[in-house]
Amino acid sequence: MEAVQYLGESLWPGKLGHILLLLSFVSSILAFVAFAKATNGEVKQKLTWSGMGRAAFSVHVLTVILAIGLIFYIMLAQLYEYEYAWAHVSEELPLQYIFSAFWEGQQGSFLLWMFWHGILGMILVWRADRWHAPVLSVLSAVQVFLLSMVLGIYFTADFQLGVSPFGLLRDAENMADLPIFAQANYLEQIEGKGLNPLLQNYWMVIHPPTLFLGFAAVTIPFCYAVAGLWKKEYKAWLPAVLPWGLFAAAILGTGIVMGGAWAYEALSFGGYWAWDPVENASLVPWLILIGAVHMNLVAKATGHSIKGTYIFYLLSFLFILYSTFLTRSGILGDSSVHAFTDMGLEWQLIAFMATFLVAGLWQYVRHRKQILSPPKEEELTSREFWLFIGSLILLFSGGIIIFSTSLPVFNQLIDVWGGIVGKDLSDWHRATPEDVMSHYNKFQIWIALLIGLLSGTSLFLRYKESRWADRRNKILRQLGIALIISLPLTYVVNMWIQATSFPYHALLFGAVFAIVINFSYLATVLRWKTRAASSTIAHIGFGVMILGILASGLKKNYISSNPFAMQGLFEAGDDRVNKNVYLIKGKPMFMNDYLVTYLSDTLVGNNRSYRVEFAKMKEGADEVEDQFEVEPYITYNTEMTEMVNPNPDTKRYLHRDIFSHITSVPLEVQSTELAKQFEDSLKYQQIALMPGQQMTLNGQQIGLAAINMQPTHKEYAPEDNDLAFGLELQVWDSVDAPVVLKPMLVVRDGYYIFSYHDQSNEHHLRIKLDQESLDAVFPQESLLEYQPFSGKQGDIFEVADKVIRIAGFDREPESPSYVKQEGDIAVAARLEVMTKSGQPLGVVKPIFLIRDNHTYLIKDYQPTVGLSAKFTAIHPDTESFDLLLADATGAQRPIPMLVAQDVPRTDFLVLETIEFPGINLFWLGCVMMMGGLAMGMVQRAKHTS
């Protein structure tokens, strides 16, 4: 095939981008080598190498930033010739989500990660202390690997290094063969896919950068650890790394909690933590990092646990890489709801992990023997011993979590092994447990209990304790007092939380004890000096967080569980609850002390929001104790053709949250396609009624009250040239009260017919009009016999059984069939029609129109009057008028209409409402923990410099 010359493509940003990334890649290699030389080389050359390294690293960071800027340009300019722009933005994407669109994709998030490495690295470049060369050398090596993920260089057709964010759409996999790319002007025809609406949320703006700053921050202690081994200064790195460790722990922790807040607030997971593999994958490095920081404190103060500090910092970084592998390789596809889409980078990610695993461990093993510990072991009564134990427990916690999280990896390894031995070993595959939450919780309860007990107690102990005998009584007294306060306090708190099993009682005690004993430390030892209280605050935060988890988890209560709903399908004794309740608009429903009413729904922009009122009733009385409204909503796509996702709404109190989430809405509002399917599934039958007539249809009475020539309908927006009519029907049966239904039909521009149905949900009945009803309401001209009449104002004629009087004229006539234009001469005759006995039937107004020297007759027909009239001529000399009148009573027939019975309701809402007591304790605890870590970082950083 001949190469197509494409039109309108802007290719320079892509070429420039490739060059920038390549330059960045090369400069990161240069920085790695130069800093390595600056670490190892001869003294006088060190300075030169370091200068080169810093220059190379600066170029690397600058090119990364420029490349990111270029991607933003491509996305903002909507250059859909680039796959990245096409896949992540669209015309409709609000500008504030351009960042979210950037890091939605793998390449963008890799670049974000590199960006943060670059920023942190530049701090080291700028400070240029004695650690900068080896630390930046390792950091540059990490950047080399990360950059390789976005290079997009093909070595052979099958082997590719990374996927470039500057790739063209027409070169993308599965795309090249599409017929559209045979057209030179394909760009004019395509539009972007845009950002997944689930991600169009402010959390998506702030959560990823925080999390990736956390990831990047974990790299720095790893670099220091390798640097310490490399320079054989096994102790000197300990104070330098500590602020970085605390910084990483605070930021990564904040990132994780933000993820939880996002899940809780905006998504429909019904909680802040689900032990999802993606969540676990970033929690595990954090747990190990917290262990590392404690080991770091011990090592710095006593010289014990130096090896532990190395191993923990190494592991926390390696688990970040492992988490990257899990979330980006596509391996979690079966077990997680929110991993990245697979990009075929699996082997590159494995190489990344393997390189740093081997390099890190090799460095450690090589130097292990030279790392000396103090000759005397830690005393059982020393702080260093218990901090060491605490850190091990955290590692343990991470190990158990990652074991269950790694099942998909194990399954794949089993398959690899099966391939080697030539057997199908898929029987060995294991899947996540049936009850994921309790699987993880049952182990972590005991770990949290131990941490709770240790977190305060260890503060009373001293490093290198040598006067234990003197202090023993004092410490034991402190512990005793804390115990005496904690036990009854636990009992009191449990009256609120109502834990029912021993493990939860124990954990509750652990949390209360942690809070009490840390307060006691704050009061008696620190004497309320908050400057030194960073660890105490973090530890109290831990206790508070556990209280929040217990309260919101154990007391989590489905308000929307309806006790009257059907039981029995699912086993008795099953603790599964019915979480959803079915609400009918305007009908209050009583559930779990609340009277809940779905009040209304309104469409604003792309959102349909549902107002739901909750009234809490006083026990045993008919009185409202508390009343509030929530407004969960569903979001439609930009074309308004289908619903994209539901969004919850939460009523917040200080002591609890009430979270409401839409789980189902009528098919009619879900999408136009489902609405059509729904309409098509209804079984309509035709009936016909004369005005004033009624009939019985399967036990339901239907009566036609009137024909309305000025109909209204909630979905009908009148336009000029609309010819519309509607019916007023009454529907009733022996059960439900009568309702009035008003279906209508519109003929627009004399060509399009729109039918607006009306429905009674009480009667499960829907009525609509069609073409036949139109023909019946407006009799065909050929069936009418017009008679000519001539006369003046006040004259009276008789047509069949009707008496007609020319009542007057209208020089500004108004009619649905007439649209006024400049220069029109229009006159309407006002004809009053009555029966022979003088009973008025109504008025008809035919119009005589002169427009552009042509005359037009606009006939008027009123079905309720039964007369059709045309105004044919004006004779100014005699002041008389010619009319054509036809009696249409004979032509009137019953109005046919289509009736569907047993129609499912369309005015309902299925709602899930959960009460989370004490959830603010969880957030408070998290904030205190991260705040404590951040305070610690600031103090240690001051101390170091």
Partner 1 sequence: MRIKKIHIVALIMAVVGVVMLLSASKDLSTYATFGEAQKVGKAVKVVGVLAKDLPMVYNPEEDPNLFTFHMRDQDGVAKRVLLNEAKPQDFELSEQIVVTGRLKGGDFVASSILLKCPSKYKDQELATRNDI
Contact footprint for partner 1 (CB under 8 A): 173-175, 178, 180, 188-191, 193-194, 196, 333-335, 337, 341, 377-378, 380, 385, 389, 392, 396, 399-400, 403-404, 407, 426, 429-435, 439, 443, 565-566, 569-571, 576, 578-582, 639, 643, 645-646, 663-664, 904-905, 908, 910, 912
Task: Round to the nearest angstrom and report the end-to-end CA distance of the chain.
Answer: 67
- 231, 363 contact by CB (below 8 A): no
> 377 or 629: whose CB is closer to partner 1?
377
Helix (H, G, I), strand (E, B) or coil at 479: helix
> 570 or 653: whose CB is closer to partner 1?
570
- 49, 43 contact by CB (below 8 A): no
DSSP of 93-130: --GGGHHHHHHHSHHHHHHHHHHHHHHHHHHHHHH--T
User: Per DSSP, what are the bridge partners of residue 215?
Assistant: none
- The CA distance from 696 to 627, in Å, is 44
Token reading at 392: 């091990």
Q: In the bound complex, what is the minimum distance in angstroms from residue 176's beta carbon to partner 1?
A: 11
Q: In the bound complex, what is the minimum distance in angstroms from residue 735's beta carbon to partner 1?
A: 16
- The CA distance from 50 to 34, in Å, is 6
Q: In the bound complex, what is the minimum distance in angstroms from residue 425's beta carbon to partner 1?
A: 12
Count of beta carbons in the 10 Å neighbourhood of residue 668? 17
**Structural Rg of the chain based on CA atoms:** 39
> 121 or 192: whose CB is closer to partner 1?
192
Q: In the bound complex, what is the minimum distance in angstroms from residue 637's beta carbon to partner 1?
A: 9
Count of beta carbons in the 10 Å neighbourhood of residue 492? 10
CA distances from 57 to 22, 138, 205, 819 (A): 14, 12, 28, 74
Q: In the bound complex, what is the minimum distance in angstroms from residue 339's beta carbon to partner 1?
A: 11
Q: In the bound complex, what is the minimum distance in angstroms from residue 646's beta carbon to partner 1?
A: 7
Helix (H, G, I), strand (E, B) or coil at 631: coil
> 596 or 847: whose CB is closer to partner 1?
596
Buried b (16+ CB within 10 A) or exposed e, 357-380: beebeebbeebeeebeeeeeebee
Q: In the bound complex, what is the minimum distance in angstroms from residue 5's beta carbon to partner 1?
A: 20
- The CA distance from 653 to 655, in Å, is 5
CA distances from 121 to 143, 215, 248, 653, 931 (A): 10, 14, 14, 43, 24
Token reading at 494: 């449990």
> 396 or 754: whose CB is closer to partner 1?
396
Q: In the bound complex, what is the minimum distance in angstroms from residue 610's beta carbon to partner 1?
A: 14
Q: In the bound complex, what is the minimum distance in angstroms from residue 377's beta carbon to partner 1?
A: 6
> 77 or 565: whose CB is closer to partner 1?
565
> 188 or 822: whose CB is closer to partner 1?
188
> 754 or 908: whose CB is closer to partner 1?
908
Q: In the bound complex, what is the minimum distance in angstroms from residue 863's beta carbon to partner 1?
A: 38
> 333 or 344: whose CB is closer to partner 1?
333
CA distances from 423 to 415, 416, 418, 427, 431 (A): 9, 10, 5, 11, 20
Q: In the bound complex, what is the minimum distance in angstroms from residue 803's beta carbon to partner 1?
A: 55
Taken in order 13, 18, 20, 21, the sign of the CA dihedral is positive
Q: Please choose, from the candidates 340, 23, 325, 351, the residue with its C-alpha nearest in 3D space to the C-alpha of residue 161.
A: 351
Token reading at 929: 């923990």
> 426 or 855: whose CB is closer to partner 1?
426
Q: In the bound complex, what is the minimum distance in angstroms from residue 92's beta carbon to partner 1?
A: 12
Q: In the bound complex, what is the minimum distance in angstroms from residue 386's beta carbon to partner 1?
A: 11
> 663 or 708: whose CB is closer to partner 1?
663
- 292, 241 contact by CB (below 8 A): no
DSSP of 714-763: TT----TTEEEEEEEEEEE-SSSPPEEE--EEEEETTTEEEEE-EEETTT
Q: Please choose, from the candidates 597, 493, 592, the residue with its C-alpha nearest in 3D space to the C-alpha of residue 548.
A: 493
> 394 or 826: whose CB is closer to partner 1?
394
> Which residue do the tokens 């009123």 mark?
862
> 435 or 775: whose CB is closer to partner 1?
435
